[in-house]
Amino acid sequence: MPFTDQQRTTIQKVDALLNRLGCDIAIGPAPEAADALRAAFIDLAVLLRALGVAELTAVADSLLDRAGTVDADRFSKLHAFVQDAWTLWSATAGLDGVAPVADLPPAPAASPAVSAEDQDLVVLASDPEMTQMFVAEALDHLGTIEATVLELETAPQDKRLLDDVFRPFHTIKGNAGALGVVSVQEFAHHVENLLDLARAGKHRMGAEEFEIVLQAVDVLTTMIGELPARVAGQPPSDTGAICARLISRIERSVTGDSASGSAAAVEAAPALEAVTADEPSVETRQRRTEGAQSVKVDTSKLDSLIDMVGELVIAQALIYEDPNLQRIVDERLQRNLAQVRRITTDLQRDAMSMRLVPIKPTFQKLARLVRDLSKKSGKVVDLVLAGEDTELDRKVIEDINDPLMHMVRNSIDHGIETADARRRAGKRPEGRLHLSASHQGGSVVITISDDGGGLNQEKILKKARERNIVAPGETLSANEIHQLIFRPGFSTAEQVTEISGRGVGMDVVRRNIEALRGRIDIHSAEGQGTTFLIKLPLTLAILDGLTLAVAEQRFVLPTFSVRESLRPTADQIHFVHGAPRMIQVRDQLMPLMWLGDAFQIANAQTDVTEATVVVVEDDGRRVGLVVDALVGKQEVVVKSLGETFTHVVGVAGGAILGDGRVGLILDGGGIISLHSKTAMRAA
Amino acid sequence: MSSTTQTTGDKDRRDLSALAGKYLTFRLGREEYGLPVLKVREIIKLLDITAVPQAPPHVKGVVNLRGKVIPVVDLRLKFALPPVPYDEQTSIIVVEIQGGHAKIQMGVIVETVCEVLSIAVDEIEPTPHFGEHVRTDYMRGVAKVKGTVKILLDLDRAFSADSSDMSQVA
């Protein structure tokens, strides 16, 4: 029976809906699902009516009437109805069986995909917004699937996890079907078949199956990710061959199973049930509620909101501190002012927290990386994650991703030894990699810890001498030797492997982390492993700083680059070439630097014993920064000075201070390098 | 140098008709200048300026424009006129110019803001030669209105150069 394009689209939507209903119902009655079901049934009834399938429409209508309250009994009825609908639909659509495309021969799967190309875009091209939503949602799902598969790999008996893999797959397939993205729908369908068999206990998920699913996730990510570009007219990348290969692997896995694996599967089936029996779907329910309570917001809107709140805070402070208002002795006015102040502060805190997102997705990506790397390198690595719910600024999370990937690669490639070497060293053959995140004060600490060979001090020192990083005869402490790996162009990897050693080194990692105003430390014991500690600010938008005064100007110095501050006494100051150029703080001597001189500010304090010295530290270097006075400690909202001032050394940005003026935010590292530059010029 | 000025002049002659329109005029000493009003965001009184180190002398620093931090430039210094103390008449014209990556807002300090003028195409002439020592690349032309000469500025050219000025300093 030939269909018009419109009917075909409708059929695909029915397919998707029935699919989804079947899936939801099979998973079990969840009260939260009732609304979604009801909505789906309304759609279904409308679609069926449009197709003119009268018998089914009537049943659907009557079910719809009662779909408001869904109990277990109703679910079984619904289930039966959906089964019927399936059969009838398949017949109507002129396709046979429950799986319309499953009967296609596996190898030439590329050819129907090619002929389906045009169809892929029929619906999408007309609705860019829908495309975007579909792509974003599907990619989200793929992320979830990936993470869950990794979990499932460690607990293949957990039916709940299997459901959690199946469901989003199914949703992707359904949505792709509804939108007419045939290539995605068809491919997803094959994978779903495999998962469905596993859910039914007819097939066991083994290493091969997990591999297939993960690769399928990769392929689907590519296929779906490029949809917007395809709508814009770009050709699709060649995924047909990979799809075909995966499909044939699925077929092999499934058919091979019926011959040899069925006994094992039958035996596995009761175990699956056992896990399902306790706590049917608490987690599922929780996740659904979570989903319902969050809203996706354009990040630019969020940033603008946060800017406005920052303004409000300043405006509020201007009013609160207004001398004329403060002079008014009126209890009610003061109370109201205090109330406004409290609300503004709360508002600011809440607005700031909106930028924070959990680090979980980043960790999940790392989990996948660990899995792939351990496969590739033949080392067995157990990954232990902790504190995945720790929240950080969106921007920080984006920028920390690459350094973390790099460090995990390093740990597996250079840190953790082969199973043989580990046995010889008397360790468990499986390596262990700990990844954790936690809040510590106003910072977030991420640790990457392996139980591998640790840093080889001798080798590092030898390399450093070869490269003239360390002078011959110079002795270094263990910590100083460890720090050497952060030097540019330093790599101790004896051979360049596929995994790492491609020239991007720990120096880049450190630079990236420092660009985020963070810090990285190493602890390593030879033979026992290495731990990297990364300390990052919670957010880049707010900075905790000391306010300094030089003449009329105010500066903000980030507290993380401040060691201490002091009013120096005359005997702490040492003269060089007739000018006070050094200060002794306890037993450490460091150069003095006048901020007023460096920034050419008139009327700055010239008598150092009348001034305040702030000890600024960056990268192990210290200077005593001389300022007129320390005004206070405050949190400021960081603003960029714009491209006009990108070349200014020693200034990291601007902040609007309590009086409405702009204060420059100093950059500790820049200040110190500014000092060495001027010192060189002076010499 | 003179040949490049010549080509600029030729180009200006072709573009003259595009120059007609509304201008905000202001005064620096005895000279009068015009800025296309479409580039002007607002005119504000002189605010507290925070000096930024290592900037060229005409870049006075940054100000807080309702929560935005924007750079301010003293046009007198930019055009190598001797500095004068700021007074009641001193204003900041906030303009939007094309920066290296995106549109940026910038404050321009002028002595006196005069008026908004409609300048017709027949009042506009191409920028004449002033000899080798006078930069004319940021002048789009001159307008003769009611007996006075107004220099029409090309803001994008005059100020986007400030990014490169900065890189020369650093």
Give the range of the structural domain holding residue B117, as residue numbers without chain letter: 2-169
Please count the other Cβ atoms lying within 10 Å of the Cβ belonging to residue B45: 9
**Cβ A645–B71 below 8 Å, yes or no?**
yes
Tell me what pLDDT residue A178 has. 72
Residue A326 to residue B95: CA distance in whole angstroms: 37
For the residues A113-125, what does the mean pLDDT come to? Answer: 56
* Torsion, CA A132, CA A138, CA A141, CA A145, rounded to 10: -150
pLDDT higher than 50, residue A274: no
Identify which of B69, B162, B170 has the shortest CB distance to residue A641. B69
Identify which of B66, B68, B169 has the shortest CB distance to residue A647. B169
Residue A538 to residue B103: CA distance in whole angstroms: 30
- Categorize the per-residue pLDDT at A417 as very low, low, confident or very high, splitting at 50, 70 and 90: confident
- Alpha helices, DSSP H, located in chain B: 2-19, 75-78, 155-169
Chain B: closest CA distance from residue A115 (Å): 43
Residue A203 to residue A156: CA distance in whole angstroms: 12
Identify which of A307, A642, A662 has the shortest CB distance to residue B50. A662
Chain A: closest CA distance from residue B42 (Å): 19
For the residues A449-473, what does the mean pLDDT come to? Answer: 81
Q: What is the DSSP letter of B164?
A: H
Q: What is the mean pLDDT of chain B?
A: 81
Lowest mean pLDDT among A59-68, A273-282, B31-40, B80-89: A273-282
Residue with the bigger pLDDT between A470 and A670: it is: A670
Q: Which residues of B touch A663 (CB under 8 A)?
A: 50
A644 contact B CB<8A = yes
- Categorize the per-residue pLDDT at A583 as very low, low, confident or very high, splitting at 50, 70 and 90: very high
Residue A178 in 3-state DSSP? helix
For the residues A661-683, what does the mean pLDDT come to? Answer: 79
Residue A243 to residue A241: CA distance in whole angstroms: 5
pLDDT higher than 60, residue B130: yes
Residue A470 to residue A476: CA distance in whole angstroms: 9
E strand or H helix that includes residue B98? strand B91-98
A677 contact B CB<8A = no
Tell me what pLDDT residue A548 has. 94
Over residues A500-533, the pLDDT tens digits come to 444 457 878 888 888 888 888 888 888 888 899 9
pLDDT higher than 50, residue A495: no
Q: What is the CATH number of the domain that holds B41?
A: 2.40.50.180
Tell me what pLDDT residue B103 has. 80
Identify which of A640, A645, A656 has the shortest CB distance to residue B52. A645
pLDDT higher than 60, residue B69: yes
Residue A328 in 3-state DSSP? coil
Residue with the bigger pLDDT between B5 and A239: it is: A239
Ramachandran assignment for A611, one of left (phi > 0), alpha (psi -120 to 50 degrees), beta (any other) = beta
- Categorize the per-residue pLDDT at B26 as very low, low, confident or very high, splitting at 50, 70 and 90: very high
Q: Which of the listed ranges A262-266, B86-90, B91-95 does the model predict with the highest average pLDDT?
A: B91-95
Tell me what pLDDT residue B110 has. 93
Identify which of B51, B99, B167 has the shortest CB distance to residue A647. B167
Tell me what pLDDT residue B44 has. 92
Burial class (CB in 10 A: 0-12, 13-18, 19+), B86: middle
pLDDT higher than 70, residue A89: no
Q: Which residue out of A644, A664, A678 would a mutagenesis test of the B interface target, given it has the greatest number of B Cβ atoms within 10 Å?
A: A644
For the residues A484-492, what does the mean pLDDT come to? Answer: 71
Over residues A175-198, the pLDDT tens digits come to 787 777 878 888 888 888 888 888
For A453-482, the three-class secondary structure string (H helix, E strand, C coil) is CCCCHHHHHHHHHHCCCCCCCCCCCHHHHH
Q: What is the DSSP letter of A412?
A: I
For the residues A30-42, what does the mean pLDDT come to? Answer: 59
For the residues A376-386, what does the mean pLDDT come to? Answer: 87
For the residues B7-32, what does the mean pLDDT come to? Answer: 75
pLDDT higher than 60, residue A265: no
Residue with the bigger pLDDT between A659 and A397: it is: A397
Query: Which 291-330 residues of chain A touch chain B by CB within 8 A?
Result: 307-308, 310-311, 314
Residue with the bigger pLDDT between A224 and B165: it is: A224
For the residues A91-95, what does the mean pLDDT come to? Answer: 53
Give the contacts of A430 (CB within 8 A, at least 6 positions apart): A380, A381, A382, A419, A422
* Torsion, CA A623, CA A626, CA A627, CA A632, rounded to 10: 50
Q: Which residues of A touch B54 (CB under 8 A)?
A: 647-649
Residue of B nearest to A596 (CA): B53
For the residues A217-221, what does the mean pLDDT come to? Answer: 87
Chain A: closest CA distance from residue B40 (Å): 19
What ipTM, to 2 d.p.?
A: 0.81
pLDDT higher than 60, residue A682: no
Q: What is the mean pLDDT of chain A?
A: 76
Q: Which residue out of A662, A671, A674, A675 would a mutagenesis test of the B interface target, given it has the greatest number of B Cβ atoms within 10 Å?
A: A662
What whole-number percentage of chain B has pLDDT above 70?
Answer: 84
Lowest mean pLDDT among A148-157, A560-569, A588-597, B36-45: A148-157
Identify which of A598, A650, A662 has the shortest CB distance to residue B69. A662
For the residues A592-609, what does the mean pLDDT come to? Answer: 89
- Categorize the per-residue pLDDT at A576 as very low, low, confident or very high, splitting at 50, 70 and 90: confident
Q: What is the DSSP letter of A500?
A: S
Residue of A nearest to B163 (CA): A644
Tell me what pLDDT residue A554 has. 93
Q: Which residues of B touch A (CB under 8 A)?
A: 48, 50-55, 59, 61-64, 66-71, 99-101, 104, 106, 162-163, 166-167, 169-170
Residue of B nearest to A642 (CA): B70
Q: Number of structural domains, chain B?
A: 1
Please count the other Cβ atoms lying within 10 Å of the Cβ belonging to residue A18: 22
